[in-house]
Amino acid sequence: MTADLFNPSEIGMKQVTPNWFLSRDADPMALRLFERHYSCTNKNRKGKGFCGPGQKLVLISGEGDAMFAWVKSVYGRQDNQVGINCSVFRNESNILASILITEAVTAAYDKWGAQRCFTFINAEKVTSKNPGCCFKKAGWTRCGMTKSGLIIMEYIPK
């Protein structure tokens, strides 16, 4: 998508970092990016939304070719993870993923304050030989595995 076809500032979207604009859970452009993410299933799509329950922060790039969704649980999680969850990140842009992740953390901290961020990566579904590499380059660390074999990565504020 080119900037002349999608200009978020012209349609009233607020820019929160150099590369991210505020979006919403049911934004059609963010939804199209989510539908190309390996985690997309009919099960995790609630109507037109895709984030799941909790407080949400959905970001979309200025070109509409990257999206990032945070979810902060209000009542706790069944998996006992604490903090802000990167529920989905999709980058089809030419911007380094590690830069987008770092800026997404900044946006999350602006909304909720500095706290642990975490995400899950399915090593069998990503094309990288180094699953989570872009998160590692953004300062995240591997902190465990789920019972189903997903890699847990976290970012702890400094």
On whether residue 131 sits in a domain, the answer given is yes
Quote the pLDDT of residue 2.
43
Classify the C-alpha dihedral 106-109-115-120 as positive or negative.
Answer: negative
Structural domain including 130 reads: 20-155
Residue 13 lies in a domain: no
Q: Is residue 5 part of a domain?
A: no
What's the confidence (pLDDT) of residue 34? Answer: 65
pTM listed for this prediction:
0.85
Predicted pLDDT at 40: 54
Domain with residue 137: its CATH number is 3.40.630.30
Point out the residues of the chain with pLDDT beneath 70.
1-7, 9-11, 30-31, 33-49, 51
In-domain check, residue 61:
yes
Over residues 8-31, the pLDDT tens digits come to 766 678 999 999 999 888 777 766
Q: How far apart are CA 140 and CA 136, in angstroms?
A: 5
Domain-embedded: residue 40: yes
The answer to whether residue 136 is domain-embedded is yes
Domain count within the chain: 1
